[in-house]
Structure 1
Amino acid sequence: MNFRPFRPIALLAGLLWLLATVAHAAPAAQKQTFVLVHGATAGGWEWKRTGQFLADDGHTVYRATLTGLGERMHLNGPDIDLQTHIDDVVNLILFEDLHDVVLTGHSYGGMVVTGVMDRIPERIRHVVFLDAAVPQDGQALWDLFGSRGPLPADRFKDGFMQVPWVKPGDAPPHSVKQSIRCFEQPVSYRNPAALALPVTYVAFVPKDQKIEERAKTDRSWQNAQARGWTMRTFPGGHVAQQEDPRGVASLIEAAVEDRNRAPRDAMP
């Protein structure tokens, strides 16, 4: 009897079995829920391309825009403070009923995510500080950067930090002025559950800057290292997420598996 006509069927069956075996042995990478928090004067628009790369990789992505900034600039006012912005992100997580969140903060956003960590640590899986402020408990941003002296009149007036590179008639998206209260209000970081969260600190380091010098002068770097957080660097300027959105997206994805170390073992 000639069995040749059945060979394609047998081959197909074998291939399907092999694919099923491989799929069972190597499950797909776990998908995450990312909440991205922008820096001062910016908005969720600044993270659009990075967020899209994360979404393309199968993750769920929320790009928060803080009150008075970005597309919410119509709500801007001198009474907005850091607590307003912490509430923005806390309520986003609560009202969207998010759990196991990978919370990321850029620049001033580090102040915001610090407050969010303190409030709802049970909703957070991992935190990533991207070239961000890392305050101590009870510190304001100006305390962290030693800027409690007189404010420059052309940069800080009428209750706002002015943004000189935004001109009348500029088309959105663009940065906007921001309430000074955001920078002078201290943040709480004392919840034991928040202190135990796994955190990654990433310094965006330009090509003309030496990592060793940055580590010696950057208080946020030093605070992160003292806490035993995972320390990473990424080549680029302060807005590296706009210079290399794919690279920053991949960096955030990789950071999820980082774990805190004993402070004495934390290395730059």
Structure 2
Amino acid sequence: MTKTFVLVHGLFHGSWCWSKVCKRLIRAGHRFFNPTQTGLGERRHLLSPKVGINTFIDDIVNLIIWEDLQEMSLVGHSFGGITVSAVADRLRNRIRHLVYLDAAIAQDGHCFYEQLPEQNRAQRLANSQLVKGTRCFMPTPASSFDITDPNDIAWVERHLTPHPVKTYLDPVKMSKPAGTGLDCSYIVCCEPIHPSFSLSRQWAKAQENWEIKFITTGHSAPITDPDIVGDILINLS
């Protein structure tokens, strides 16, 4: 059976970061959509002070509606988990499986910034810069995403783009807790464990009927271990 996946990227990234996973999905006969969020990647020309978390949510909601997608697996990696949480809240009836890949989970009325370890919050904001009049977090070295292969490091660092701070500070509006009424899975990349998502991991583990899986990869598994990620997504869904 052909399955449909919507793959949502994280901080600094774009559709490109899923390209290796997409090759695995193609080989298995599935279809996918891997959109880039407004202001990032090949859409960096759209960066503006207005780009916030609702922009990111609308990006994915509109993709799903205009492509008339049904019975899909919605996958959020890293910061992309915030986006997919709210998308699933709006379009619950269109989603077959909600997957968090080492990702943040949104809570109604709260922003992702609140989930960061307290010692990291002020430092991140202090290191932000103005880009086209927009306050942005600036890309960090690929090694900070647990990438070690020199070819992957060079490829990733060519593609990373500034990320609008507003998406971190905007509270997310949701009608119900994340994943309500859906089949949900949380995949933990455990070598090493990424500290930014500790609260989300704890919340996921406390939910009844959520499937929790551990894979022995770093946080950038879609780049460093795409076949592992592709296979687990196919088997989960």
Structure 2 residue runs of 5 or longer lacking an equivalent are: 143-154
Relative contact order (C-alpha < 8 Å, sep 6+): which is higher? Answer: 2
- Pick from 133, 136, 139 the counterpart of residue 160 of structure 1: 136
The two structures, once aligned, show a CA RMSD in angstroms of 2.5
Distance 1:171 1:150, change over 3 A: closer
The answer to whether structure 1 residue 106 and structure 2 residue 106 are counterparts is: no
Structure 2 counterpart of 1:247, one-letter code: I
In 2, the alpha carbon distance for the partners of 1:46 and 1:116 equals 20
> Moved runs in structure 1, 4+ residues, more than 6 A?
none
Cα distance in 1, alignment partners of residues 49 and 178 from structure 2: 33
Amino acid at match of 2:137: M
For 2:96, what is the secondary structure of its paired residue? strand
One-letter code aligned to 1:190: S
Q: Contact 2:108–2:177 at 8 Å: present in 1 too?
A: no
User: How many residue pairs align between the two structures?
Assistant: 218
Equivalent of residue 221 in structure 1, options 189, 201, 215:
201
Amino acid at match of 1:196: G
Q: Alpha-carbon deviation of 1:79? A: 2.1
Structure number with larger C-alpha Rg: 1
Alignment map for 1:1-268 (pairs within 5 Å): 30-147=1-118, 150-152=122-124, 155-158=127-130, 159-165=135-141, 174-191=159-176, 194-206=179-191, 218-228=198-208, 229-256=210-237
Contact 2:5 2:31 in 1 (8 A): yes
Distance 2:78 2:156 in 1: 24
2:124·2:137 contact (CA, 8 Å) conserved in 1?
no
Deviation at 1:122, TM superposition (A): 0.9
Secondary structure (helix, strand or coil) at the match of 2:233 reads: helix
TM-score (norm 1): 0.75
TM-score, normalisation: structure 2: 0.84
Instruction: State the percentage of identical aligned residues.
Output: 34
Give, in whole Å, the separation in 1 of the partners of 2:178 and 2:92: 6
Whole-angstrom CA distance in 1 between matches of 2:187 and 2:29: 23
